[in-house]
Amino acid sequence: MARSTLKKLDASKFDEWKAQHLLNRAGFGGTERQVSILAKMGLEKAVEYIVEYTKVKDPSPVRAEDFDSDIMHPMSQSERQMARSARQGGDEALLETFRQERQRRQRADRQQIAEMEEWWLKRLIETPRPLEEKLTLFWHGHFATGYRTIENSFHMYQQNAFFRTYAMGNFKEDLVRGIVHDPAMIQYLNNHQNRKGSPNENLARELMELFTLGEGEGYTEDDIKEGARTLTGYTFEDDAFSFHSRQHDDGVKNIFGRRGQFDADDFVNLIFTRPSASTFVIWKLYRFFINDLPHGPTPDATKYIGQLASVFKRTNWSIKSVMKAMLLSEHFYDEVNIRSIIKSPIQLIVQAMRTIDPPDRKKLLRTLSLASNLMGQKLFAPPSVKGWDGGRAWISTSTMFMRQNTLLFLITGQRPDGYAWDADATKYDAISLLGGRTKSPKQAVRYLLTNVLCNPNIQQEREDSLLDYLKTQHNVINNRTVTGLLTLITAMPEYQLS
């Protein structure tokens, strides 16, 4: 039975297996050496190191100037006047010039978003602050917006930077209050069309339904309508939030049974008076970091969520307090919660890169970005405002084929969409994964199974099948045979779990 309390794990039980679990869940895995260092720190210091990531130097700090903010800039006043005159005068040549210029900028913007996908994937793989990127990915799926609707790569970059800045911040004051001022979210949910006398309900609805309270939890359709009025006039100009006071409805609203001349800040305050404000996002964090609960909530999980929600509310909506309590708790390390989450495509790719350390193959990031998309998770492009469903939704016949082929590419160089004869022949020093120590066939198999599968309790049939493979190779342990072992291990069903 799972331990369902927030009681802290007994420090004497924090061994290398639990350190590995911590690194897998609070990040994207790591090498044997990294796991060993974390284990030697002990529970308290290891969690402190993971959570207080701002104390770790970022060798590649995020900089807005690395991307072009002017590709999709709005037309200037003189350009708008020229276009208006051309339409009125039927100047098709000038109108065509404007159309071609817009198409050129759209192509450039699509190129930039593709470069941003590779940039973020590189950060995920290389970051010394894994929880920062893991939480940024979580918030990207929680406050989901997609490039295809927004068609402004710099706005997507700004939102990504916002999530990273406040990844461990205050949920109410930083993240929720901030998201209603975010240009990408405003455009994605059409709040730039939300005006006095003609309210658009999209942002108000999703703010309660998907971001804070949960579907049908503690609000009515009338609350949505009145909430939309508080958000009138909240728009953006170029790359910045803008409040248009003339478009704002400053009349009296009735929300959750309370009356007042509420604006968006008041609306956020009112939302956090509802009971589910303390539990909804905690459930989502639980499914992302502890157990994706394929069969629905369990009594133990429900009890644990209630206790974690109390911490959340008591600390005035602090994400850091929640994460620290979670990562220290014995429930987090309980056997029922270890290897209980199906790896997302990003987790699968990044964890493989960080643990088996394949060579830097040709077009590596581009290939991995394409593969992640084909597996159902394209960065900067969640499928809808609900984000990714996760869990068993990651697995299907087609995605399993791509998942295994992506791992094959990392190990052998054969592209997921290519053929064996097209493989990148870059040498993989696979034998280095054995820790530089000479091992017998059985030792090599056991070592790789435990360190690549992250599982000390390997089924005997798995071990026997790998030993049978080595027998066909005359029990030789070299780069070629270790590469063969890795391809077999990463094809095992257990490898799909984190």
Let me know whether 352 and 417 are in one domain. Answer: yes
96 domain residue, yes or no:
no
Would 368 be classed as within a structural domain?
yes
Helix pair 364-374, 92-126: axis angle to 10 deg: 100
Q: Is the domain of 370 the same as that of 418?
A: yes
Residue that is last in its domain, among 363, 389, 422? 422
State the pTM of this model.
Answer: 0.96
- Give which of 391, 387, 392, 353 is closest to 369, Cα–Cα: 353
Residue 243 lies in a domain: no
CA pseudo-torsion sign 143, 146, 149, 153 = positive
Clarify whether residues 454 and 483 are in a common domain: yes
Contact 486, 430 (CB under 8 A): yes
Task: Report the alpha-carbon distance of residue 342 to residue 395 in Å, rounded.
Answer: 8
Burial 57-77 (b: 16+ CB within 10 A, else e): eeeeeeeeeebebebbeeeee
Domain co-membership, 415 together with 478: no
pLDDT of res. 421: 65
Name 8's bridge partners: 329
Examine residue 84 and state whether it is found in any structural domain, yes or no.
no
The pLDDT, as a whole number, for residue 253 is: 98
pLDDT in tens, the chain (498 residues): 456 689 999 999 999 999 999 999 999 999 989 999 999 999 999 999 999 999 999 999 999 999 999 999 998 888 888 888 888 899 889 888 889 999 999 999 999 999 999 999 999 999 999 999 999 999 999 999 999 999 999 999 999 999 999 999 999 999 999 999 999 999 999 999 999 999 999 999 999 999 999 999 999 999 999 999 999 999 999 999 999 999 999 999 999 999 999 999 999 999 999 999 999 999 999 999 999 999 999 999 999 999 999 999 999 999 999 999 999 999 999 999 999 999 999 999 999 999 999 999 889 999 999 999 999 999 999 999 999 999 999 999 999 999 999 999 999 998 877 777 678 878 889 998 887 766 799 999 988 988 898 877 778 899 999 999 999 999 999 999 999 999 999 999 999 999
Domain boundary among 288, 305, 337: 337
Q: Which of 422, 456, 488 is the last residue of a domain?
A: 422
Confidence at residue 276, expressed as pLDDT on a 0 to 100 scale = 97
- The whole-number pLDDT of residue 439 equals 77
Instruction: Give residue 237's pLDDT.
Output: 96
Rounded to whole angstroms, the maximal C-alpha distance in the chain is 84
CB atoms within 10 A of CB 398: 11
Indicate whether 120 belongs to any domain. Answer: no
Cβ–Cβ under 8 Å, residues 194 and 200: yes
Tokens read off for 32: 């044997």
Distance CA 405, CA 371 (A): 9
Instruction: Verify that 292 and 324 share a domain, yes or no.
Output: yes
Task: Provide the residue range defining the domain that includes 33.
Answer: 11-51+279-337
Q: Do 396 and 360 sit in the same domain of this protein? A: yes
Q: Total structural domains in the chain?
A: 3
pLDDT of residue 38: 97
Regarding whether 476 and 443 lie in a shared domain, the answer is yes
Both 418 and 434 in one domain: the answer is no
- The verdict on 418 and 353 lying in the same domain is yes
Contacts of 496 (CB under 8 A, 6+ apart): 342, 343, 348, 395, 403
Q: Is 350 in the same domain as 410?
A: yes
Quote the distance between the C-alpha of residue 368 and its chain's center: 16
In contact, 347 and 394? CB cutoff 8 Å: no
Tell me whether residue 318 is in a domain. Answer: yes
In this structure, is the dihedral angle defined by the CA atoms of residues 323, 327, 330 and 334, taken in order, positive or negative? positive
62 inside domain: no
Torsion of CA 191, 195, 199, 201, to 10 degrees: 10
What the block records as the tokens of 186 is 């405003």
User: Which pair of structure tokens corresponds to residue 456?
Assistant: 């000390």
Residues 323 and 360 in one domain: no
